[in-house]
Amino acid sequence: MTVEKVVGSPRKPSHRRRKAAEALAVDLNILNTLGELSSAKGDAATARKVSPNTPFSGLSGSEKAWVEQAVQRLIRRLGERASGVALEPITIRDLPLP
């Protein structure tokens, strides 16, 4: 299950990412980059949206580290949101793009 499906708009998939960014107070560029890196890059076990004939393109070391940091921060943010605390925005300065 994706963060977008948990907190995004259930009716319009095209708006899920934007709604998730708003609900979690996360810069939309962070979610966009995470989606891009986790869907089109990786190997046979990790790339989510490649066709059988697409050559794989692995993540660089900095991209992999960034994805791991972003996922950890989003998991923490889901807990913060569930607890009801005021959410401080997560910006590109908090997770500089690779």
Q: What is the pLDDT of residues 32-57, one digit of tens each?
A: 999 888 887 777 667 666 667 777 78
Residue 32 lies in a domain: yes
How many domains does one find in the chain? 1
Residue 78 lies in a domain: yes
Write out the residue range of the structural domain in which residue 48 sits.
3-83
Using alpha carbons only, how large is the chain's radius of gyration in Å?
A: 14
Residue 73 lies in a domain: yes
Q: Given this model, what pLDDT does residue 3 score?
A: 64
Q: Given this model, what pLDDT does residue 38 score?
A: 83
Residue 43 lies in a domain: yes
Residue 33 lies in a domain: yes
pTM for the whole thing? 0.80
**Interatomic CA distance for residues 98 and 53, integer angstroms:** 27
20 burial type by CB count under 10 A (0-12 exposed, 13-18 middle, 19+ buried): buried
Residue 96 lies in a domain: no
